[in-house]
Amino acid sequence: MALPKIDLPIFEATLPSSGEKIKYRTYTVKEEKILLVAQESKDPSQEIMAMKQVVNNCLIDRDVSDLAMFDLEYMHLVLRSKSVDNNISFTVSDPDTEEKVQLTLDIDNVKVTTNEDHTNEIRLNDDYILFLRYPTIDAFVKIIEMSPADPLVNYFIMINCLDKIASDDEIFYFKDYTEEDIDAFMENLSGGVIAQIQKFFETMPRLRHEMKYTNKNGDEKTFVIEGMRSFFQ
């Protein structure tokens, strides 16, 4: 006789990028092992792919392939809170006194922060507007694997943000065009448009949280947690 299969509770969350309601289950020992192996690797690419696999396993009738990176990070925290514990304890080193300070983070308090100057629309001229999108998770992995000294990094980031061009009666989706077509389009853009594309990426929503503590000198300090690796616990 086979052992009984234990049903897992189903919860609902809201994606920060779109407000979409999605259903998910808590993760199991299987998923926890995936995270632990990736954490031990200290490889950012493996950590992201592990997060992708775990979140994808736990979502109900929803694929993660089109999620923005901050959506994936957010869902990873939501899953961690429901599956393990909402509190994470860790130690930081005070930069002035070099003392070790014990902090406890309630991950239920961590939110995706937005920049009021962030927009995905760039007007090209009187007729056309360029719409940008958040890079996919796979594209983000490629970005972090590229050398910062590689002159193509910024270009790769920009073309992965291109979604469509629209006028009052026409829409052109970049996914329908070849790399050569997109290269030709990019070469004809003004410096001002390029700067706005870069600003879109730089001001993207992100997970960010500030924690206050007082060091042994009595000085109040702020420890900032930001980005995927900070939250990979």
Confirm whether 145 is domain-assigned.
Answer: yes
Asked if 38 and 84 sit in the same domain, the reply is yes
Confirm whether 2 is domain-assigned.
Answer: no
Confirm whether 1 is domain-assigned.
Answer: no
Q: For the chain, what is the domain count?
A: 2
Confirm whether 5 is domain-assigned.
Answer: no
Asked if 133 and 191 sit in the same domain, the reply is yes
Confirm whether 4 is domain-assigned.
Answer: no
Asked if 198 and 211 sit in the same domain, the reply is no
pTM of the model: 0.82
Asked if 171 and 220 sit in the same domain, the reply is no
Q: How far apart are CA 90 and CA 76, in angstroms?
A: 18
Asked if 55 and 126 sit in the same domain, the reply is no
Asked if 153 and 83 sit in the same domain, the reply is no
Q: What are phi and psi of 223, to 5 degrees?
A: -105, 125
Asked if 128 and 185 sit in the same domain, the reply is yes
Confirm whether 3 is domain-assigned.
Answer: no
Asked if 68 and 139 sit in the same domain, the reply is no
Asked if 65 and 91 sit in the same domain, the reply is yes
Q: How far apart are CA 174 and CA 63, in angstroms?
A: 22
Asked if 136 and 82 sit in the same domain, the reply is no
Q: Are 176 and 164 in contact (CB under 8 A)?
A: no
Q: How far apart are CA 102 and CA 216, in angstroms?
A: 13
Confirm whether 197 is domain-assigned.
Answer: yes
Q: How far is CA 210 from CA 63, 151, 207, in A?
A: 31, 33, 11
Q: How many CB atoms lie within 10 A of CB 204?
A: 20
Asked if 56 and 100 sit in the same domain, the reply is yes
Asked if 108 and 17 sit in the same domain, the reply is yes
DSSP-assigned states of every residue in 55-97: HHHHEES--STT--HHHHHHHHHHHHHHHT-SEEEEEEE-TTT
Tens of pLDDT, residue by residue, the chain (233 residues): 777 667 788 999 999 988 999 999 999 999 999 999 988 888 888 888 999 999 999 999 899 988 888 999 999 999 999 998 899 888 889 999 999 999 998 988 888 898 999 999 999 999 999 999 998 888 888 888 877 777 788 888 889 899 999 999 999 999 999 999 999 999 999 999 999 998 998 899 988 889 999 999 999 999 988 865 555 44
- Domain of residue 126: give its range: 121-202
What lies within 8 Å, CB to CB, of 95 at 6+ separation is none
Confirm whether 40 is domain-assigned.
Answer: yes
